């Protein structure tokens, strides 16, 4: 462990939180429903673009992407390049649609196109995916803090993670999107500083200049980006296309990401935000994989054994080998990743449940005070749900099972892709019950195809393209069950 005292590290986290709380109070005071849901449509596009980094780069990215470089080299960048294609579709296909319809919840589009049952189905898929996904990301980040900080204080995981949820609830409950635009920008800054300054600490330990570090990384066995084996899960075209569709569904069809985009003043500003965000995402991910290469080069130079779990590699190096400076900024980075894993999610889960499931946006007799009270109850309820899922992960304590649950949650994005594609690119109508049945059956069929893919397709392994297959099955099902009278 670093020679920094545990109370001092705890003080750093406390100061970080109080800054977040101050920003939230400053920007969220007197926020009404419009401020909570869409930031009064006045969010600066450049803050939205930068702040979204905190959502897209969670604690999972922070510790997992650098660690996997030793196994997969820079192959992850193939997916990131695919993101660029996906963000272009979001900017020029989805955002114009959302702004034209003046949406708050994007699943309202499904209601207008296919009926209320489709809107609720889309919302339920989002609520399920995002609750499990946010819990998984927060669980990973909280575990790092637990091992390297709270265990030293004798604080049980149940207490520490409950405290984290309470802190997140405190600074998100009132202001919603209006304050989150600013707190997310603050957190993205420290997340990026955490990875950049950790990488700088390694180069300093190795006495490398910036150009020497770039040369060492480029000439290392870790810098291989492209995989041309068609049977591999890392095959280039498979990764590129998968990355494009991952961006479309996990940003463009995800209420959590799009609610911030919809808070921009105009459509051109929102489009500018998405396009600049796509550039930032690529640059930041290049830094993440470069940090991974530096970690393995540093370990080889110093004779440091790589742990069996690559997720533990970066925290172990930081706290045991890189000194005080690196430890402080890694702690700030992982703290930013921890809070950003769940803060905006609570607001957007509340938005979708309030609008899509309960339909309170259609009740004009609600006063602002009543609306705020309802939002508060829903917001607190999702905080408890998030805590419950995290504690369930902790009780299971089986990485394979937890990864499986997280992967299963990802199956729900495929039906959203199929529903939106069918709605946007065709004029056919489908009755409510067939929409729900198709959306439920497609993930099951996709799972079976994935499970038996190697036997069915001569050793071919389905990877991230499963999302595309899932969406295609949904589209075909809707096509077969379309109302032929229209």
| pLDDT band at 275; cut points 50, 70, 90 | very high
Backbone angles phi, psi at 104, to 5 degrees: -105, -50
> In this predicted model, what pLDDT tens digit does every residue of 118-161 receive, in sequence order?
999 999 999 988 898 888 888 877 887 887 778 888 889 999 99
| pLDDT band at 105; cut points 50, 70, 90 | very high
The confidence score (pLDDT) of residue 461 equals 65
Q: How far is CA 100 from the centre of its chain?
A: 26
Averaged pLDDT, 264-273 = 92
Asked if 200 and 291 count as a contact pair (C-beta separation under 8 A), the reply is: no
Which residues, 6 or more positions from 110, have their beta carbon under 8 angstroms from its beta carbon?
118, 119, 121, 122, 419, 420, 423
Place of tokens 């700030």: 332
Place of tokens 């917001």: 379
CATH topology for 6-396 is Sodium/glucose cotransporter (1.20.1730)
Query: Is residue 164 predicted with pLDDT exceeding 80?
Result: yes
Query: Is residue 363 predicted with pLDDT exceeding 90?
Result: no
User: What is the per-residue DSSP string for 235-269?
Assistant: -HHHHHHHHHHHHIIIIIT-HHHHHHHTTBSSHHH
Give percent above pLDDT 90 in the chain. Answer: 27
More confident residue, 333 or 363: 333
Averaged pLDDT, 443-452 = 83
Query: Is residue 406 predicted with pLDDT exceeding 70?
Result: no
Rounded-to-integer distance, Cα 465 and Cα 463, Å:
5
Asked if 406 and 139 count as a contact pair (C-beta separation under 8 A), the reply is: no
Query: Is residue 334 predicted with pLDDT exceeding 60?
Result: yes
Rounded-to-integer distance, Cα 456 and Cα 425, Å:
31
Asked if 270 and 262 count as a contact pair (C-beta separation under 8 A), the reply is: yes
Backbone angles phi, psi at 241, to 5 degrees: -65, -40
User: What is the per-residue DSSP string for 65-131?
Assistant: HHHHHHHHTTTHHHHHHHHHHHHHHIIIIIHHHHHHTT-SSTTHHHHHHH-HHHHHHHHHHHHHHHH
Q: Is 31 helix (H, G, I), strand (E, B) or coil?
A: coil
Tokens for 67? Answer: 């660690």
Q: Is 112 helix (H, G, I), strand (E, B) or coil?
A: helix
Q: For the chain, how long is the longest CA-to-CA vector?
A: 74
> In this predicted model, what pLDDT tens digit does every residue of 185-202 receive, in sequence order?
888 888 888 888 888 989
The confidence score (pLDDT) of residue 332 equals 81
The confidence score (pLDDT) of residue 94 equals 94
> In this predicted model, what pLDDT tens digit does every residue of 293-333 receive, in sequence order?
999 999 888 888 888 777 778 888 887 787 777 778 888 88
> In this predicted model, what pLDDT tens digit does every residue of 470-486 receive, in sequence order?
899 999 999 998 886 65
The confidence score (pLDDT) of residue 60 equals 65
Asked if 138 and 390 count as a contact pair (C-beta separation under 8 A), the reply is: yes
The confidence score (pLDDT) of residue 134 equals 85
Q: Is 24 helix (H, G, I), strand (E, B) or coil?
A: helix
Q: Is 106 helix (H, G, I), strand (E, B) or coil?
A: coil
Domain chopping of the chain, boundaries: 6-396, 411-486
Asked if 123 and 254 count as a contact pair (C-beta separation under 8 A), the reply is: no
More confident residue, 270 or 235: 270
Give percent above pLDDT 70 in the chain. Answer: 91
Average pLDDT, the chain: 84
Asked if 354 and 378 count as a contact pair (C-beta separation under 8 A), the reply is: yes
End-to-end CA distance of the chain: 68
Mark 142-163 as b/e (b = at least 16 C-beta within 10 Å): bbbbbebbbeeeeeebeebbee
Rounded-to-integer distance, Cα 127 and Cα 182, Å:
24
Averaged pLDDT, 386-403 = 78
Tokens for 265? Answer: 């003043």
Give the length of the chain.
Answer: 486
The confidence score (pLDDT) of residue 110 equals 93
Q: Which of 57-61, 254-258, 286-290, 302-306 is least confident?
A: 57-61
| Cβ-based burial of 288 (10 A; exposed 0-12, middle 13-18, buried ≥19) | buried
């Amino acid at each position: 462990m670093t020679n920094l005292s545990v109370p001092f590290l705890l003080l750093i986290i406390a100061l970080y939180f109080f800054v977040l709380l101050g920003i939230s109070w400053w920007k969220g005071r007197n926020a009404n429903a419009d401020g909570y849901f869409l930031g009064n449509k006045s969010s600066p596009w450049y803050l939205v673009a930068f702040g979204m980094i905190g959502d897209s780069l969670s604690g999972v990215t922070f510790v997992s992407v650098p660690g996997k470089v030793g196994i997969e080299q820079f192959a992850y960048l193939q997916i990131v390049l695919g993101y660029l294609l996906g963000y272009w579709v979001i900017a020029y296909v989805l955002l114009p649609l959302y702004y034209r319809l003046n949406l708050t919840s994007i699943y309202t589009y499904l209601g207008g196109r296919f009926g209320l049952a489709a809107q609720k189905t889309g919302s339920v898929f989002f609520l399920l995916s995002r609750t499990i996904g946010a819990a998984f990301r927060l669980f990973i980040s909280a575990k790092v803090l637990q091992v390297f900080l709270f265990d030293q204080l004798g604080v049980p995981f149940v207490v520490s993670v409950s405290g984290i949820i309470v802190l997140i609830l405190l600074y998100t409950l009132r202001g919603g999107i209006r304050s989150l635009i600013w707190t997310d920008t603050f957190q993205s800054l420290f997340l990026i500083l955490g990875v950049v300054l950790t990488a700088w600490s390694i180069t300093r330990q190795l006495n490398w200049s910036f150009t020497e570090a770039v040369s060492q990384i480029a000439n290392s066995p870790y810098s291989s980006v492209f995989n041309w084996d068609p049977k591999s899960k890392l095959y280039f075209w498979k990764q590129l296309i998968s990355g494009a569709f991952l961006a479309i569904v996990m940003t463009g069809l995800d209420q959590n990401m799009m609610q911030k985009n919809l808070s921009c003043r105009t459509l051109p500003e929102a489009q500018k935000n998405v396009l600049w965000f796509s550039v930032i995402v690529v640059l930041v991910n290049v830094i993440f994989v470069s940090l991974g290469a530096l970690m393995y080069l540093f370990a080889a130079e110093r004779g440091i054994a790589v742990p069996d779990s690559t997720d533990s590699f970066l925290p172990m190096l930081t706290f045991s080998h890189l000194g005080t400076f690196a430890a402080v900024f890694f702690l700030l980075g992982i703290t930013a990743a921890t809070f950003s894993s769940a803060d905006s999610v609570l607001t957007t889960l509340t938005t979708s449940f309030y609008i899509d499931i309960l339909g309170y946006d259609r009740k004009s007799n609600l006063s602002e005070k009543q609306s705020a009270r309802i939002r508060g109850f829903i917001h607190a309820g999702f905080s408890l749900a998030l805590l419950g899922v995290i504690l369930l992960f902790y009780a299971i304590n089986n990485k394979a099972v937890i990864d499986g649950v997280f992967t299963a949650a990802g199956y729900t994005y495929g039906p959203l892709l199929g529903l939106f594609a069918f709605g946007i690119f065709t004029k056919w109508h489908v009755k409510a019950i067939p929409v729900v049945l198709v959306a439920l059956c497609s993930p099951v069929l996709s799972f079976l195809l994935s499970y038996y893919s190697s036997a069915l397709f001569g050793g071919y392994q389905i990877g991230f393209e499963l999302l595309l297959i899932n969406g295609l099955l949904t589209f075909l099902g809707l096509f077969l069950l379309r109302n032929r009278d229209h």
